[in-house]
Every structure is written in structure tokens, then in C-alpha cells.
Amino acid sequence: MSRARSPSFAAQLIGWYEANLRDLPWRRTRDPYRIWVSEIMLQQTRAQAVIPYYERFLQRFPTVAALARAAEQDVLACWSGLGYYSRARNLQKAARLVGDNLPRDYRAIRELPGVGDYTAAAIASIAFELPHAVLDGNVMRVIARVTNDDADTGSPRTRARFQQIAQQWLDTRRPGAFNQALMELGATICLPRAPKCLLCPLVSRCEAHSQGRETGLPVKLRKAAPENIDAMLVIVERRGRVLLWQRTADSRRMPGFWELPAPEQLPALQAPRSVGFFRHTITNHHYRFTVCTGRAARAPRPLRWIAIEDLRGMALSTTSRKALKLAKVLSEEGVG
């Protein structure tokens, strides 16, 4: 039996977790709906960034039924700024499919829109104590280091093998606590660049640490090169209104969201003036947005004049929101 699979392994990990867990709002509930919402929001997003959106979303849509009957624009407006907006649309699609109650078995959860293997395992184990191991980036890092495995974690074959290891490690008596403990360990101790090995409850079991290899693992060979992109957004304000355009329902990116125009959408722009810039990253695309203000005598299609006071209830893109705040058209509390 490996050191990671010895009888005290799970108890040691869960004991550490219960003594050191971060106080996150979704850990204070057993409500499957609230756990489901948190897991969708946590996809590709840090926990601290999720907290205000999670609390605001559940205040606005406190039940599955409330989410199901809401207008899509209201859901997107509440999600605005969190990114990856297909998550919000899929969450509402799923709410409309399940009725009053979330399904209670793994396969049915897995079939919901926007739910993959990891999310289904997280919901099933945390909400219903079903014995399904989670595998996310944090868990993969812990497994690679504890087992001293230098296989390419970008490979589907490696992921499948690591999934089997995670399932073997799982404490089937307390799967929810075990999964959360393993994820918490990766998020707070077994960090990518500077692991806190002296604080790790598994340090005596970690094969990579015993050989001084922890900082070199895990290995991911398949990584796309970052792309740097310069872009510009234009703010045209008049009489408490601002020019915006809305993406169509069949748009490939962020359908239904409202955007500030680019310069080419305003051929008659007058007196342009730069007010600054901000950076924005989407996966491996690194944007540098320059923000300009100016005047326009008319609003060419598809631009429309929108009252600034109405922006709070609209699905406004993150980049437009950042630009409007940079130009002080909106305050920090003004939208989102």
C-alpha cells in the first residue's frame, strides 16, 4: 500500500481541512441549489473573485424556480463581470429543465447543461455525499507531486489515469469533505510556483518532496503561446446617455451583451481624447484597451443611446464596464 493510500491518509487530510478551511459562503450551506451555483461560478474563476457575485446572484435568484422564470437579460446582468457567460446561460437552461429540485444522482447531474465530469462530481459529493472524486487543476497538482509523476498533465491519457488515482484515494464515507480537502490543499498549500511544503499535512507522504522535485511538477507540455492584442474603446456621452451596441443572439461571443463602440463604428467621431488604458485577459489572449472619449452628432446603427442610470440592470460586458469606470462615467458601485 502506497503512503498516499494508507488508512490514516483520508483522516489526516480531512482533519487538516476542518482545522484550516477558508470561510467561504458556499461552505455554510447544504442546499444543493446553492452548491450547484457555486460550482458553476467557480469554473475557471478564483474563489475570492466569485464571492460577491455568488452572494448577489442568490439574493436575486434564491431558488431554482426563481432562476428558471427570470429574464435572460436579468441573469446576464447579475453575472456581468464574472466572465465566461455561457455558464450563466447554461445554469438557467438547467434550472428550467429540473423544475423545483436538482437531480440527486451523478449521471443525471452530469447531463445538465454546463456540467462536466468535475462539476458533476463536486455537486454529487458535496451536496449528496455520493462517492465521486473530483479532478481539477489543484487536485492534479497534488496527485502529481504526492506520486512524483512527471507525465504530461495536458494529455487526456494522463488525466484519465489521475482520475483513477483520485477515485482510489477518495474517502467514500465522507466524499464531500475529502474532495473539498484535496482541492483546498492545492489552492492554499500545494501552490504552483511556491508550495508551502512545511505546512502540508501530506509532506511525509509526498514522493516529489522527498526527492526535491516538487517545484518541477506537475508537467504540462501543451501550452498555447500568449497573444498580445491592442484595441480601443470609445465613450460618447451626451445628456446623461452613452452610446452602446448590443451583440446579436447568434453572436459567437457573449450574445446579448452590450458593448462600447470601437473607433471604426464611429466614422464621424469628433474631438477624440485618450483617458487611459487597462489590461484584460481571456485565456491566452492579453488585451491592452485604450479608452477614448469624444463627441458624435448622430448614432449610426447599430449604436443606441442608453441612459447611464439604466446600465446597472443591463448585461454590460466586462471590458465596457472597466472602460466606463476608468473614464469615471460609472463609479465602482455604478454597475454589475
pLDDT digits (tens, 9 = 90+) for 154-183: 999 999 999 999 999 999 999 999 999 999
For the chain, how many residues are written?
336
3-state class of 95 per DSSP? Answer: helix
Which residues of the chain form CATH 3.90.79.10?
227-326
Q: Count the alpha carbons within 13 Å of 151 in the hemisphere toward its beta carbon.
A: 14
Q: Is 114 left (phi over 0), alpha (psi -120 to 50) or beta?
A: left
pLDDT at residue 199, as a whole number:
97
Known active-site residue 333: no
Output the nine-digit C-alpha cell for 255.
450574445
- The string of pLDDT tens digits covering residues 78-101 is 998 898 899 999 999 999 999 878
CB atoms within 10 A of CB 157: 9
For residue 223, the Cα-to-chain-centroid distance in whole angstroms is 20
Contact call for residues 61 and 67 (beta carbons, < 8 A):
yes
pLDDT at residue 334, as a whole number:
44
Taking the C-alpha atoms of residue 47 and residue 186, their distance in angstroms, rounded to an integer, is 13
pLDDT at residue 4, as a whole number:
56
Question: Which pTM was predicted?
Answer: 0.83
CATH superfamily of 3-216: Hypothetical protein; domain 2 (1.10.340.30)
Taking the C-alpha atoms of residue 188 and residue 35, their distance in angstroms, rounded to an integer, is 21
pLDDT at residue 331, as a whole number:
75
pLDDT at residue 130, as a whole number:
98
Q: Is the peptide bond before 300 cis (omega within 30 degrees of 0)?
A: no
Q: Is the peptide bond before 302 cis (omega within 30 degrees of 0)?
A: yes
**Regions of the chain where pLDDT drops below 70:** 1-7, 222-223, 332-336
Which residues of the chain form CATH 1.10.340.30?
3-216
Q: Residues 6 or more apart from 83 whose CB is under 8 A from it?
A: 44, 45, 282, 318
Taking the C-alpha atoms of residue 127 and residue 115, their distance in angstroms, rounded to an integer, is 15
pLDDT at residue 1, as a whole number:
39
Q: Residues 6 or more apart from 213 whose CB is under 8 A from it?
A: 145, 148, 150
Given the residues 18, 39, 184, 237, the one annotated as active site: 39
Taking the C-alpha atoms of residue 165 and residue 161, their distance in angstroms, rounded to an integer, is 6
Q: What would the DSSP string read from start to end of 9-59?
A: HHHHHHHHHHHH----GGGG---HHHHHHHHHHTTTS-HHHHHHHHHHHHH
Q: Does domain 227-326 have CATH number 3.90.79.10?
A: yes
pLDDT at residue 336, as a whole number:
44
Taking the C-alpha atoms of residue 285 and residue 212, their distance in angstroms, rounded to an integer, is 34
pLDDT at residue 335, as a whole number:
44
- The label of the residue with cell 482520475 reads 163
pLDDT at residue 101, as a whole number:
81
Q: Residues 6 or more apart from 25 whose CB is under 8 A from it?
A: 38, 51, 54, 55
